[in-house]
Structure 1
Amino acid sequence: MKQADRPLLADWHAIILHRPHPSVDALKRQLELLHIRVTTVWPQLDETHAGADIVFFDADMGHDGQFPWPSGFAPMPMVALIGSETPGRIEWALAQGSNAHLLKPIGSTGAYSALLIATHAYRAALSQADDIRTLENRVRQRPVVVHAVLDLLRQGAGSEEEAWARLRRVAMDWGMTIEDAAEAICRKDRHIGSFPTRKSN
């Protein structure tokens, strides 16, 4: 993670979702040394906690219904606190959207690296989801692009290549994607101008 991408931790609020435990005390001390405001909660979060910057949660005693959002859709990075490395517990932690983990018992180190790794993984997942949505939208709009090209051919484009070139130029002039420009053309939202008259041989 580049220095410019590192979060400003002094402005952060961390929540530790865990029953009272020496590992919680150790984790809280580490986070407070980073000037992070810490709130400890058990047995569950509510809507007021959705504004936190990061959540550390108990993977050993955790259960469904502890979070006020659907599993895997946390609005912040999540770090699992793992003591029992049984497959079922790890699967449950992953299903909650864990972006990193800390092994218990927690000592005097580990929180900072887990926090940075979780933040990086969370941002990468958001970016990937945005890319997927963009691709899905482009696939959904593909028939509209074809209709726009056909409209341009009917309006005087001499060939499919000329229609495509006009569509690309219009999209640039209007400051839109090709797909959005195609929708505008099909809706006849804007006037695109006439094609040059061709001289007959």
Structure 2
Amino acid sequence: MTRPSPFSIRGRRALMVMRDEREISIVRRQLGRLGMTISEHDPAEPPPIRPSDVILLDADSIPIKSDHATLWKGSVPIIAVIGTETPSRLKWLLDLRPASFLVKPLRSAGLYTALVIAFDSAQRRVEQAAHIEKLEDRIRSRRVVFAAILQVMRGHDMSETEAFALIRQTAMRHRTTIEVLSAQILAAGGMPNRNTRTA
């Protein structure tokens, strides 16, 4: 699958969670020029269910002690619009893990850069999570393979090298992976019937 370009902004959906009319006007005008679809949401309300590709969140207008303050954390990249730099608000904001930020007072410049950084950061997080999951799967698979090797060593009085070679040859003959065959060995308590072809 081709990695989406963070520079492709046109057609993406932006959710503006802002209260200040001047700032809303600036952001709405710039997003419109970039060809984005815009929807707006009241900062005092819980996050909406409707889908969006990026959220422009006025961090100063969210009541951080409200029940729904933590609900803004999700998979959609957040561009935090920051004016107040109190430790409690910044801590809340860090917990949201914003993908980018804009500092008040807002100007016409800087929004495109914040969007590109936000989309790139979000994509990197997705790729990193997938990579970590793949590594964790490998670790789990290695444990299964190692346990199967030990089982074959004990059952056939073989060395570790001989047991692994037997598992590898059997997997090739059965047209399956070493990991799948290893799981079958553990489930069966020994080598499977070699006359049975494995899918």
> Under TM normalisation by the shorter chain, which class is it?
0.7 to 0.9
8 Å contact 1:17–1:56 — kept in the other structure? yes
1:128-176 C-alpha deviation (Å, 9 max, x unpaired):
22333333344445442222112333565843113224445628942x4
**Are 1:184 and 2:184 matched, yes or no?**
yes
Aligned length: 188
RMSD after superposition: 3.3
For 2:114 and 2:67, the matched residues in 1 are separated by 24
* Partner of residue 12, structure 2: 12
Q: 1:68 to 1:7 in 2, by over 3 A?
A: farther
Structure 1 residue 48, shift from structure 2 partner: 2.2
For 1:8 and 1:157, the matched residues in 2 are separated by 61
Moved more, 37-46 or 147-156: 147-156
* Partner of residue 164, structure 2: 164
Q: Which amino acid aligns with 2:45?
A: Q
TM superposition score normalised by structure 2:
0.76
Structure 1 residue 36, shift from structure 2 partner: 0.4
Q: 1:18 to 1:47 in 2, by over 3 A?
A: closer
8 Å contact 2:70–2:96 — kept in the other structure? no
Matched position secondary structure for 1:125:
helix
Structure 1 residue 67, shift from structure 2 partner: 6.2
8 Å contact 1:55–1:78 — kept in the other structure? yes
8 Å contact 1:99–1:118 — kept in the other structure? yes
8 Å contact 2:184–2:192 — kept in the other structure? no
Q: Percent identity at matched positions? A: 28
Q: Which amino acid aligns with 1:38?
A: I
* Partner of residue 193, structure 1: 194
Q: 1:87 to 1:68 in 2, by over 3 A?
A: closer
**Are 1:124 and 2:134 matched, yes or no?**
no
Structure 1 residue 86, shift from structure 2 partner: 2.7
Q: Which amino acid aligns with 1:185?
A: I
Alignment of 1:49-198 (within 5 A): 49=50, 51-62=51-62, 63=64, 64-66=66-68, 69=71, 72=73, 74-153=74-153, 156=156, 158-168=158-168, 170=171, 173-174=175-176, 176=177, 178-188=178-188, 191=192, 193=194
Q: Which amino acid aligns with 1:56?
A: L
Matched position secondary structure for 1:57:
strand
1:82-107 C-alpha deviation (Å, 9 max, x unpaired):
01223322221111121110111211
For 2:88 and 2:56, the matched residues in 1 are separated by 19
Unaligned runs of 5+ in 2: none
Moved more, 143-152 or 80-89: 143-152
8 Å contact 2:79–2:115 — kept in the other structure? yes
* Partner of residue 44, structure 1: 45
TM superposition score normalised by structure 1:
0.75
Unaligned runs of 5+ in 1: 195-201
